[in-house]
Amino acid sequence: MTDPADPSFDRRRPFLAHRLRDRYEFINLLGRGGTGAVYEVRNLRLDRIEALKVLGESLEGEAAERFAHEAKVAASLNHPRIVKIHDFGMEEGIHWYSMDLVDGPTLEGLLKAHGPFELSTFARAILPVLDALEHAHGLGIIHRDLKPANILLNHEGRPHLADFGVAKSKESLLKTQTGLFLGTPAYIAPEQALTGGADLRADIYSMGALIYHILSGQLPFQGDTPLQIVVARLDKDPVPLQQVRPGLPTELAAIVATAMARDRDLRYESAGRMRDALRSFCQDAGVAWEGPITGLPLPPCARIPLPPLPLAPEPASPGPAGRKPSASWRWALGIAGVLLVAGFGWRRRPRQLPPPVPVALPVQPAPKPPPDPPRAAARPTAPAKAAPAQDATRVPASYPQLEQSFPPEGDSGAACAGKRVILTLMVGEDGSVQGCQILAGTTPACAEAARKAAMRYRFKPALDSQGRPVKASTTIALEFPEGP
């Protein structure tokens, strides 16, 4: 059975891939986290491989606004060490943007795999990022979430700064809840944690904390909860870096301490000044800082293959007794397809099916196997082969088709006029709707009205290759009418 919690399963991907089918081909899942999923796609217009980030289905409101803000901010930056944003859009409430695919590990992944960085690895990873940060700061953009996971390496070993999701710009009108700080607790500056307010010196602090981590292998502040980690930096300094990693040059430890000063007036006044201080240290200490990271394996991004997309179903046919669904409450079948719940993955529909007939299809019993021929008692018999599992043949060859629909109950019609809600329905072997998942909607009230109506719908069930009903899912879109 396909598990919706599995990272390779994404309810939104089939719908979005269908809507963007003329522009992108979805190939692999690259990663999935709290804010959404990132896919490897082929840009069909430019014939090149890119990454496409999709906002998670459980996030909306301020999160969607922040996601759009990230795309616009990153797209305004033009620096070779910043991941380039190419396009941005929204499809039925699903936000996405495409960007360069930086096909290599993050600094976080490199740290976990190989431990604290050698000085040349550290210098080649950090100096280009400080240069990119100076470029962003020059345009009035503060990153506010610098951490090893947001610095990506390409296959050559060159770093790229990514994820401007909580960036702040001069023109930004992004509002946050009172008392809510944005950023990762292990790396944010004290003032960012206290008030949420930050200038470019907050990024300087985060770079110091990041360097502390990749040079020592441990975070500058420890705690059992994110709150404890944040509170710890408000009234004390971290354990001296040389104490955590003996033998580290004093000059380098001093640069990190300056960057992490609790009083922001004591920090470097710009990313460029911090970069110049590190460059001078490297030159004096004979540390190679130019060029890509070398001497370490740089595996490409992990990829999870995606199941093939189903074909788009035909429009719904008349219901029982020739009755058509009410024109005021028309359902349009969306892209979706058949999600196999018998545990066999996805399969494309091999042919167009005739319109559904309002009668139950008989289920043909499987033919009985012929009796074994008689054998001589003295002749040994070969061991019988295990019969294939009965469900192995029950792979849907068609998808559920709508037969009967009902309008949402109550007075939601006027409040939801012109709205659209996209849902995935689990249709049982008897054609009844057994489950409903909202993919995209408007207000919670409209989404709930659509869900309740969908649970009453009747479908012609999906059929396997032998014409037997099977449990499967399909995605539909409900459009509330503009008027009577």
pLDDT of residue 309: 64
Q: Are 425 and 474 in contact (CB under 8 A)?
A: yes
Q: Which amino acid is at 5?
A: A
**b/e per residue 371-395 (b: at least 16 CB within 10 A):** eeeeeeeeeeeeeeeeeeeeeeebb
Kindly state the average pLDDT of the residues 273-294. 96
* Confidence band, pLDDT 50/70/90 cuts, at residue 246: very high
Q: Which of 131, 145, 163, 203 is catalytic?
A: 145
Pick the closest to residue 204 from 216, 217, 187 (CA basis): 187
Tell me the pLDDT tens digit for each residue of 185-230: 889 888 887 765 678 999 999 999 999 999 999 999 887 777 778 7
Alpha-carbon distances of 459 from 194, 341, 467, 476, rounded to whole Å: 55, 17, 15, 12
pLDDT of residue 213: 97
> What domains sit in the chain, N to C, each tagged with a CATH number?
12-101 (3.30.200.20), 107-169+181-285 (1.10.510.10), 307-348+394-484 (3.30.2420.10)
Tell me the pLDDT tens digit for each residue of 419-459: 777 777 888 889 899 988 776 666 788 888 888 888 888 88
Q: What's phi and psi for 472, nearest 5 deg?
A: -160, 175
| Rounded Cα–Cα distance for residues 442 and 91 (Å) | 13
Q: Which amino acid is at 121?
A: T
Q: What's phi and psi for 125, nearest 5 deg?
A: -85, -35
CB within 8 Å of 469: residues ≥ 6 apart: 361, 363, 429, 430, 431, 461, 462, 463
Kindly state the average pLDDT of the residues 297-326. 60
CB within 8 Å of 139: residues ≥ 6 apart: 76, 77, 169
Tell me the pLDDT tens digit for each residue of 327-385: 333 333 333 333 323 222 233 233 333 333 333 333 334 444 555 554 444 444 444 44
Comparing 250 with 65, which gets the higher pLDDT? 250
Tell me the pLDDT tens digit for each residue of 260-274: 999 999 999 999 999
| Neighbouring C-beta atoms of residue 249, cutoff 10 Å | 14
Per-chain mean pLDDT for the chain: 75
Residue 464 catalytic? no
| Rounded Cα–Cα distance for residues 89 and 403 (Å) | 34
Q: Nearest 10 degrees: CA dihedral of 385, 389, 395, 401?
A: 140
Kindly state the average pLDDT of the residues 28-43. 85
- In this prediction the pTM is 0.62
Q: Are 454 and 478 in contact (CB under 8 A)?
A: yes
Alpha-carbon distances of 347 from 125, 249, 343, 398, rounded to whole Å: 44, 60, 12, 9
DSSP structural state of residue 432: B
> What six digits make up the tokens of 261?
């000063």
Tell me the pLDDT tens digit for each residue of 4-27: 344 444 667 888 888 899 999 999
Tell me the pLDDT tens digit for each residue of 123-142: 999 999 999 999 999 988 88
